[in-house]
Structure 1
C-alpha cells in the first residue's frame, strides 16, 4: 500500500469496449482493476469513438467524443474540469486520436486542470517530425508517464529528454488464471491428440503470420500432430482499407505450402473466457512480429503470464520479457529458424515444462490486481507532485496573478454598440455613432467573437451573446449579393446599402467569419447558413489581387475545412492562394527584408498566420518556413528597445526604402500579432511565440510607448488607437472587437501552456 493517499476521483481516457482493438481491452481491464482495488473511488471513462453512430458502451463510459472532431475534444476537457476528477489516466497510441499524429489529444490535455498520468503503448525511437512534436507535448503535459518495459523508459529519456524520475515501469496487466495442464483445455476444445501452436489478436500484415505458415512444412515433417491456430478478427481499420486481403493471402499461402489441414483460422473476436481456453490449450505461443520497435504486446504478456512457452521474433518487448531463457527468440523473417526453434522445443517436453513453470511464476507480478495497485501508487504520486509544485501558465504568469493580467470579459460595450440590425462602426467616446452606420467588416468580427465565446466560455453568463450571434449572421447574410457572389460592406443607419460590392478585404473577412460559423457555431442552423454563405462567396476570390484579402480568405478556408474537409473547391482555393503568396515572397523577400511586399502596411501578421495554417493542413514545409520566417522578422521590427510591442503606425506605414511610422498604432495590429503567434506556437511548440503574444496583448493594458492602457476596464471598450501623445478615446467596434478577440486568444494561451514554457 502506498504511503500516499489514493485519489477519490479517477477519469480514464482512451478506447473502450465494445470497440475492437487492444487499447479498448486494456482500458477496460485497467478500469476494472482500479475499481476493484479502490472500491470507494469514483471511476469513469471518456471514450474516443471512431464512428459517427458511436458504440453501445457499458455504464463505465460516461463521456464519449468523436475522434476527428476537434470541438468534441474541447467539450470533453470542459466536462472533465467540471467533474473535477483528482487524476486523468490517458491511454496513448498514435492511431486512435484525431489530427496530425493524434495532435487533437494535446489540445484536450492542455485544457484539463487535473494531474495527468499517461500510459504510452507506443514509443518510437525514430519518430516523424509531427510524432516527435506530439510526443514532446504529451510528455511535458503529463505529470507522470507509465511504460511497460525498461526499454520504453530508456527511449523516453534518451530520445525525448524525459527525466527518469517521472517514468514508472508497470507491466502490461494479465488475468489471474490457474496453472493447468494443456490437456485440460485441449479436451474441452476437442483437440487432445494435437500439438497446438497459437497466435492471437487482431490480424494484420505487421503480425508476420506468413513466416510461421512457411515454417510449418518443416515442423510437420518432424511433428505431424502440429496444428497452428490463428485466433482473431482482422483489424477493423484494415477491413475498411483492404477488406480481407491479408487473411486471404495467408489462406492461399497455406494452400501453396500444402499445410492447409494444419492451419485453423478463427476469424472472430472471442470473449475473455474463450480466449483463456485457447491459450490454455496452446503448447507454444508464437509472436512472429516484423517490427523491432514494438515496445508493448498485450498478447505476449497474456500468453507468457499464463505459463506458455513462447517463440518470438526479437522485438523490444519480447527481448526484455523472454530474456534469460524465459522464451525462445528467432530472427525476423526467418522461417527456417522459426521451424528449428519450434521443433527443438517439441522434442524436449521436460524443458518446455520448466519454461512454463518459470513463465507462470514471473507472471504473478503481472496480474491485474498487482498492476492496479501499482497504477494507484502512480496516481497518488502524480497528485502529490502537483500539490507540491503547481503548474504555471504563460511565461512569468501564474494562475494567481491572472486576474490582473487577463481582465474578465466585459461584454456590455459590444452589446451597447449593437442593435437589431448589427454592430455600429464607430462611437463617440463610448456612445454609438449612428451617423456612420454599419459595415460588414465589424459584423464579421463580432460574429466570430460570439461564436468563439459560445464555444470556449460560459457564454450563458452573457445573455446577449446568443441573440447577437444571430443578428451579426443575419447582417452577413443580407450583405451577400448572390448574383455577383460579392459581400457588400457599408450600410447606412437607414439600412440602405451604400455600394454594390465591398472591398476585397471586407469580402475576405466575411469568408473568414462564415468559415468560423460553419466550423464552430453551436447552433446547427447557423452552421448551415454560414456554410451556404461561404460557398456562395468563395469562387469570386479567384479574381482578387489583395494579399490581405487572400490571407483573410485562407483563414476562413482553414476553418471551413473543419466543417467539410472534403470540399475540393475550398481545398483548391487554399492551395492556389498559398502559391500566390509564395510567388510574392520569392519576388520581394531578401535577407534584410523578408516580406511579401515592398512595404508593411496593416494587419501584416495575418499573412504569416494564413501561411502557417495552410502549411499545417497541406504538409507544406516551404509555406511553414515562409510563415515562421516572416513572422519572426515582423516581431523583431515591432518590438522596442524597452521590450514593448510597437505595431507599424498607420500614419505612413513602413516601406522598404523608407522610415517606419511609429504612430498611429491600431488595436487590430496587436490582435493580428497575437493570433499569428498562437498559430506559430501550435505549429512548433516553441514558447518564444507565446512570449511575443503576451507582449502584444500587454500593449492593450499599458505596456506601450506611452504607458497608457487602451482597454477601458469600466466600459469593456477599447480606444481606437494610440497617438503620439494620447489614446484615442473613441471606442469603436473594430478596436473593441480587436481587444475581445485578443482576450479570447490569450485565454486559450493560458490553457495551452505547459511546464516547459515557464
Structure 2
C-alpha cells in the first residue's frame, strides 16, 4: 500500500488548450481513481496574458514569466505537506531562458520530485542542456514515454540508466468498435474517413496529407479527410489564422473541397474519442522526427484504429511489427499510396486494428497510474533513506583480506561475435542497447592488462574481436571514431564524443605497447597515428587526458613520431594551464565542478611528466590528485567516489551518490601512478581503499563483485546496490583488479586491508 498521502502535479492543466494540459489532467484523474485515499492537487502553469477557469483540482497557478510565483509555489507545496511532486516538463511552458524559472521552485522543495520529460532533445543548446541537467539533478526519478527517450538521456545527457523509467503515454480504456455507428452519428455515414487531430501548426505536415488526397480519391472516391482541432494559440497570437487559411486555399486549388473538412474546435475527450472511433485511418504526417510522444497517436492506437504516420520517434516504436504503417517524411505520394491501400483492403485494415488494440491494453490509464504510483513510492523511499542516513556516517565495512583471483566469466558472457554489450539486466546481457566503442576500448585495455605475467590471458579470438570493433568504429570520412552501435550492427551516429575518441586512442596506444600479437601491435600503432591529429582541435579536458594516457603507452613503443610528441606537450600544457595557482586558489582542480573519470586528469599529467622529464606536470598531477582524494574520502576513512548526482555542480562538495565502478578504477590507476612518481606510501593506501570499495569498504557495506564470475554491480544507490552488471562495470573492476594484482607482485606482498578499514564492532 502506498505511503504517499499528498501528491502534487506541476504542469499545464485543462481548460488550457494543449497536449501537456490534457496529459497532466488525465494523469491526475487516473491517480485519484487508482488511489482514492490520496489527496492530489495540480499547480497549473498559466501562459502570460491569459486566464483560465481552472477546476477545483488546481490548487495554485503560476504566471510562467514571474519567477516570484515559482518561489511562492514551493512555499505552498512545502506548507501543504506534500509527500511528492510529479513535474511535467516540456520546452516552452516555463519562463526564463531555457525554461530556467522552474529551478527556483525545484530548489526550494522539501520533498522528492519525479519528472516526466515530454521531449528529450538530441541536440540541446547550451542553456537547454544546463537547465535539463539541473532538473534531472533535482529529480529522484525521470520518466520518458519511449525507449528512444531513455537512449538519448543515457547517450546525450549521461543520466544513469537506473534513474530512468519508461512509462508509455496513457490512453482511455475504450471498447473496440467498428466505425459505422459513429460515422452515422457524426454525419459521415457511407464515407471512408481519414482523421488528423491536434492543435494546428506548420510542423504537423497537413499540407503533405492534402496533396495526397487526389491520389487517394482516384482509388477511393468516397474518402474524406477531417482535420480536427483549433489553431495553436501561439500561432494565432503571432499570425492569426493565416496558416489555416493557407491550407484551405490549398484544398480549393486542388478542387477537393468536398473531401477535406476543417473542424476548428478544441474538443473535450468524449467528443474526441467519438471522432477517433469513426475514422477508418488515422494519420499523423508530422515533419520532424524529434517528437518523443504524441498523445493523439497514443489515443488512436489505443482505440484500435489503422494508423499511417511518418517515422518520428514515438511512431517508430508504437507502430512497428505490423501495428501501423510508416511512410517517409514529406512524401505525399507515399502517404497517399499507404492510405489508399488500407482503404481498399478491409481485411488488412481489420488485422492492423486488432493488433494495435491488443498491444495497447497495457497503456490504459489505470495501468499507467499503477506504474506511476510504483515509481513515486520508490522515489519517496530513496529520499527518506537519504534523510535518515547521513552520508558522512559510513557503514562499517566488511573488508576482504586478500586480492581475488582474476575471473573473466562475466566478461565472456557479456560478449557476442560483435563485441562487448553496453548494458545488462542483472547479469543477463541487454541486447536492446547494443554496443559502444567506449566499452570495447576499455575491454581492449583489459585484454592488454591480462598479458602481464601471472594473469589469465584473454583468448586471441576475443581480443581480436575488441580490436575489430575499434577498427570498425573508425570513420575515415570524419577522422573520428563512432561510439554507439545498435544490436542490428548499424551505427547510430557518424562520430562519437570527443571523450570516446580520446578513450579509444588510449586503448590503441596501450595495444601498440603490450598486445600479445605483434601484428596487432603494428595495427594499433598505425590507427593511433591516423586518429591522433584531430585531438588538437578538441575542447574536452577528459579527451586530452585519455589521449595523453594513450600517448604515454604509444611513446613507450620507441616510435619516432615528432608530431605525436608535439601534441603530447600541447595537451599537457593545456591541462596544466587549467590548474589554479597554488598560492591563489585553495581548490586545486582543473574545473569548477567534478564529473566522471576525474582521476584520469591528474594521472595523465603525472605519467606525461615522468615520460617527458617535466617536473611541473608531475607536481600539478600530485597536487590535484591529493585534493581529489580529500573529496573522495568519507569522515570514517572510506573511499567515496564522486556521485553522479554531483555531475554539473559548480564549486560544491561532491554528493555521495550514485557511486560507480568507473571512479574506483580511475582512482586506483592514478594513485599507483603517483606512488611510482614520488614513492609516498599514502598513494598505495589510496589505491587499496579504492579497490576495497568493490568489496564492502563503502558507504553501504555491501560487496559489488561476484568473486566466482568477476561480475560487478553497476554502482551504489543511497539505499541499495544497482543489481545490473553492465559492460562498463565489469571492465572497470577487471582493470582495477589487474593493477592491484600487479602491485602485489611488484611489492611481494598479498593485499591487506588498510588500518582505517578494519572491521568495527
TM-score by length of structure 1 reads 0.53
Instruction: Please report how far the alpha carbon of residue 51 of structure 1 lies from its aligned counterpart in structure 2 after TM superposition.
Output: 3.4
Q: 1:389 to 1:257 in 2, by over 3 A?
A: same
CA contact (8 A) 2:176 2:357 kept: yes
Distance change in 2, residues 1:209/1:229 (3 Å) = same
Following TM superposition, by how much is the alpha carbon of 1:136 offset from its aligned partner in structure 2, in angstroms? 1.1
Distance 1:688 1:51, change over 3 A: closer
Aligned counterpart, 1:190: 187
1:230 counterpart SS class: strand
**SS at structure 1 position matched to 2:48:** coil
Counterpart position of 1:689: 651
- 1:6·1:379 contact (CA, 8 Å) conserved in 2? no
**Equivalent position to 1:38, from 13, 32, 35:** 35
- Give 1:76's match in structure 2, choosing from 73, 78, 101: 73
Runs of 4+ in 1 over 3 A off after TM superposition: 390-393, 395-398, 632-643, 684-692
Q: What is the SS of the residue equivalent to 1:27? A: helix
Q: Which of 304, 307, 311 is matched with 2:304 structurally? A: 307
Q: Is 1:367–2:364 an aligned residue pair?
A: yes
Where structure 2 has 5 or more consecutive residues not aligned to the other structure, the ranges are 395-577, 590-645, 655-717, 719-761
Alignment correspondent of 2:144: 147
Distance 1:24 1:639, change over 3 A: same
Contact 1:133-1:685 at 8 Å conserved across structures: no
Instruction: Report the alpha carbon displacement of residue 14 of structure 1 after superposing the two structures with TM.
Output: 0.4
* Candidates 87, 108, 112, aligned match of 1:115: 112
Pick aligned residue for 1:264 from 261, 268, 279: 261
Which of 49, 53, 56 is matched with 2:53 structurally?
56
SS in 2 for 1:89: strand
Partner of 1:436: none
Deviation track 1:177-227 (CA, whole Å, cap 9, x = no partner) reads 111110010110121110000000111011001000000011111111000
Matches within 5 A, 1:120-131: 120-131=117-128
Distance 1:53 1:307, change over 3 A: closer
Residue equivalent to 1:522: none
Residue segments in structure 1 that go unaligned for 5+ positions in a row: 399-631, 644-683, 693-754
1:14 maps to 2:11: yes
- 1:240 matched to 2:237: yes
Aligned to 1:159: 156
* 1:417-468 residue CA offsets vs partner (Å, 9 max, x unmatched): xxxxxxxxxxxxxxxxxxxxxxxxxxxxxxxxxxxxxxxxxxxxxxxxxxxx
Q: Note if contact 1:66-1:72 (Cα within 8 Å) is conserved in structure 2.
A: yes
> Are the structure 2 counterparts of residues 327 and 140 from structure 1 closer, same or farther at C-alpha, using a change threshold of 3 Å?
same
The whole-number CA distance in structure 2 between the counterparts of 1:278 and 1:48 is 29
User: 1:390 deviation in Å?
Assistant: 3.5
Q: Distance in 2 between matches of 1:141 and 1:285?
A: 39
Q: State the Cα distance separating 1:389 from its structure 2 match.
A: 2.6
Change (3 A) 1:85 1:307: same
- Compared with structure 1, are the counterparts of its residues 271 and 241 closer, same or farther at alpha carbon in structure 2 (3 Å cutoff)? same
How far, CA to CA, are the matches of 1:130 and 1:392 in structure 2?
A: 34
CA distance in 2, matches of 1:273, 1:370: 20
Q: Contact 1:15–1:23 at 8 Å: present in 2 too?
A: yes
SS at match of 2:10: strand
* Structure 2: distance between partners of 1:192 and 1:45: 41
State whether residues 322 and 355 of structure 2, in contact with CA within 8 Å, keep that contact through their aligned partners in structure 1.
no
CA contact (8 A) 1:11 1:85 kept: yes
Verify the 8 A CA contact 2:133 2:648 in the aligned structure 1: no
Correspondence 1:98 to 2:60 = no
Call closer, same or farther: CA 1:276–1:635 in 2, change over 3 Å. farther
Pick aligned residue for 1:135 from 132, 135, 142: 132
Report the alpha carbon displacement of residue 688 of structure 1 after superposing the two structures with TM.
3.8
Instruction: For 1:105 and 1:95, locate their aligned partners in 2 and report how far apart those are by CA, in whole Å.
Output: 11
Structure 1 CA distance for aligned equivalents of residues 382 and 297 of structure 2: 33
The CA deviation at 1:52 is 4.4
Q: Secondary structure in 1 aligned to 2:88?
A: strand
The aligned runs of 1:474-623 (5 Å cut-off) are none
CA distance in 2, matches of 1:36, 1:256: 50
Q: In the TM superposition, what is the alpha-carbon distance from 1:686 to its structure 2 partner?
A: 5.0
Once residues 318 and 293 of structure 1 are traced to their aligned partners in structure 2, the CA distance between those partners, rounded to angstroms, is: 11
- Could you tell me how far 1:18 is from its partner in structure 2? 0.8
Cα offset, 1:53, TM superposition: 5.5
Partner Cα separation in structure 2 for residue 171 and residue 217 of structure 1: 36
Q: Structure 2: how far apart are the matches of 1:246 and 1:6? A: 50
Please show how residues 366-405 of structure 1 align to structure 2 within 5 Å. Answer: 366-390=363-387
The CA deviation string for residues 152-188 of structure 1, in whole angstroms up to 9 with x for no partner, is 1111111111111111111101111111110010110
1:179 aligns with 2:141: no
Distance 1:639 1:249 in 2: 63
Distance 1:353 1:7, change over 3 A: same
SS of the aligned residue for 1:353 comes to: helix
Displacement, 1:348? 1.0
| SS of alignment partner, residue 369 of structure 1 | helix
- Alpha-carbon distance in structure 1 between the residues aligned to 2:310 and 2:587: 61
Secondary structure of 2:119's match?
A: coil
2: CA distance, partners of 1:23 / 1:85: 22
Once residues 392 and 119 of structure 2 are traced to their aligned partners in structure 1, the CA distance between those partners, rounded to angstroms, is 34
The answer for the alignment partner of 1:200 in structure 2 is: 197
Check conservation: 2:120, 2:153, Cα contact below 8 A. yes
Secondary structure of 2:230's counterpart equals coil
Distance in 2, matches of 1:387 and 1:159, equals 30
Partner SS for 1:111: coil
Cα shift at 1:271: 1.6
Secondary structure, counterpart of 1:689 in structure 2: coil
What is the aligned counterpart of 2:165 among 159, 168, 172? 168
* Cα deviation 1:573-618 (Å, max 9, x = unaligned): xxxxxxxxxxxxxxxxxxxxxxxxxxxxxxxxxxxxxxxxxxxxxx
Superposition RMSD in Å: 2.8
What displacement does 1:638 show? 4.9
Residues in 2 aligned to 1:364 and 1:690: alpha-carbon distance in whole angstroms: 46
CA contact (8 A) 1:74 1:107 kept: yes
Q: Could you say which residue in structure 2 is the equivalent of 1:348? A: 345
Distance 1:127 1:397, change over 3 A: farther
TM-score (norm 2): 0.53
For residues 271 and 587 of structure 2, the distance between their equivalents in structure 1, rounded to whole angstroms, comes to: 72
Matching of residues 604-643 of structure 1 within 5 Å: 638-639=584-585
- Alpha-carbon distance in 2 for matches of 1:140, 1:362: 34
* Counterparts in 2 of 1:636 and 1:206: CA distance versus 1, 3 Å: farther
Q: Which residue of 2 aligns with 1:295?
A: 292
